[in-house]
Amino acid sequence: MSLPFLPFSRPTIDEETIAAVGEVLRSGWITSGPKVQAFEAALSAYFGGRPVRTFNSGTCTMEIALRIAGIGPGDEVITTPISWVATANVIIEVGATPVFADIDPVTRNIDLDQVEAAITPRTKAIIPVYLSGLPVDMDRLYAIAAKHKLRVVEDAAQAFGSLWKGQRIGSFGDFVSFSFQANKNLTTAEGGCLVLNNEDEARLAEKYRLQGVTRSGLDGIDVDVLGGKYNMTDVTAAIGLGQMKVIDQVNAHRKALAEHYFRCFGPDFEAQTGAQLPQPAFETSNWHLFQIILPDQGPGTRARFMERMKAEHNIGLGYHYAPIHLFTMYRERGFKEGMFPVSEKIGRLTVTLPMFYAMTLADVERSVAAVKAVLAS
Ligand SMILES: *Cc1c(COP(=O)(O)O)cnc(C)c1O
């Protein structure tokens, strides 16, 4: 194999950040402390001054948002089948019932017409997902939420730095959840944050994050809600602070890579191959992922494609995502094939091409040439 392995994602941590992590490790204070506070302040500034709290994942963020909203047994929460399974698992985790709405074949995000059709008197919240960093129609989303008095927990795990009409995702809206898992545009290795509406919600988030504890004075302590153990450490917050310094550069570079992808695929690629490119959403997306839908060649289409991309071109692809409703645990709750046909088709044929900060335009050219070669033979 002459060319080096090209993965679909790879984190970049600069030397300054590595040094900052070393300082924390030598400081005598390695768990939640001043770095977490500084990271939360930086995030709050990034999101227009809204309250922000950090956590050890972008999963517990959503679970805690649902708990703050008082959602539990008997309540329905509407979400998309095409997401990381965490998005639906948190609904079950709080005792509520997941209800799926199919996706739009062009944006691959939850179809807001289908959301409206799925609303019942038990519906309490919507969890939209901004797949690959592409927001849904945010005006329509919040109009639906207002009309039906629903809470929104935005799964913006992939959308750090994405925009809607020039405003950052997270700087407006209801609860907005981000993930800092290793593949995300901004990473802390593992971690997440939740943007909240007010200081009361932020205080409740702090309780759910740490065993329900409230401290007062030098030795005052009480517990009045059932919390868990979800706090971020200063070690990972130091990574986040380093990443905050370069995030705008990172997202600008991803955008340049995405533009080059479109240039290299060219205007005839879809007509010639039957494959489908993503939306050219250069005003909104942070280009977290670059996903194409393969032309359908029956069962095993994607596995064969991924195998050849690896064997013949040394390129590692991902797939985001398999439809959640067809997992065993969800089938056991009554979901089955045929319920969400667009999700089922896209879930079977979507592949994620390489897209990360350390990639070059030449890597994009290599990736596109490989896709074209595999599809042509
Ligand atoms: C990454 C991701 C999550 C979960 O984040 P973790 O930090 O891994 O818990 C949830 N939803 C989506 C869409 C994601 O991409």
pLDDT digits (tens, 9 = 90+) for 175-216: 999 999 999 999 999 999 999 999 999 999 999 999 999 999
Q: Which of 184, 229, 336, 345 is catalytic?
A: 184
What are the E-state strand segments in 266-364?
290-293, 350-353
Contacts of residue 215, Cβ cutoff 8 Å, sequence gap at least 6: 221
Residue with tokens 């329509």: 140
Q: What's the mean pLDDT in 260-269?
A: 98
What is the band of 85 on the pLDDT scale with cuts at 50, 70, 90? very high
Please state whether the peptide bond connecting residue 321 to the residue before it is cis, i.e. omega within 30 degrees of 0: yes
Overall residue count recorded for the chain in this entry: 377
Sign of CA dihedral 194, 199, 204, 209: positive
| Fold annotation for 15-244 | Aspartate Aminotransferase; domain 2 (3.40.640)
- Rounded to the nearest angstrom, the distance between the alpha carbon of 152 and the centre of ligand 1 is 17
Q: Does 15-244 match 247-376 in CATH topology?
A: no
Taking the C-alpha atoms of residue 361 and residue 369, their distance in angstroms, rounded to an integer, is: 12
Residues within a 6 A CB radius of ligand 1:
57-59, 83-84, 86-87, 129, 155, 157-158, 179, 181, 192
For residue 190, give the ligand 1 atom closest to its CA: 7
The pLDDT assigned to 244 comes to: 98
Span 89-143, pLDDT tens digits: 999 999 999 999 999 999 999 999 999 999 999 999 999 999 999 999 999 999 9
Tell me how far the alpha carbon of residue 179 lies from the centroid of ligand 1, in angstroms. 5
In CATH, the number for domain 247-376 is: 3.90.1150.10
Domain layout of the chain by residue ranges: 15-244, 247-376
Q: Say what percent of the chain tops pLDDT 90.
A: 99
Q: Judge whether 255 counts as a catalytic residue.
A: no
pLDDT at position 1 over 80: no
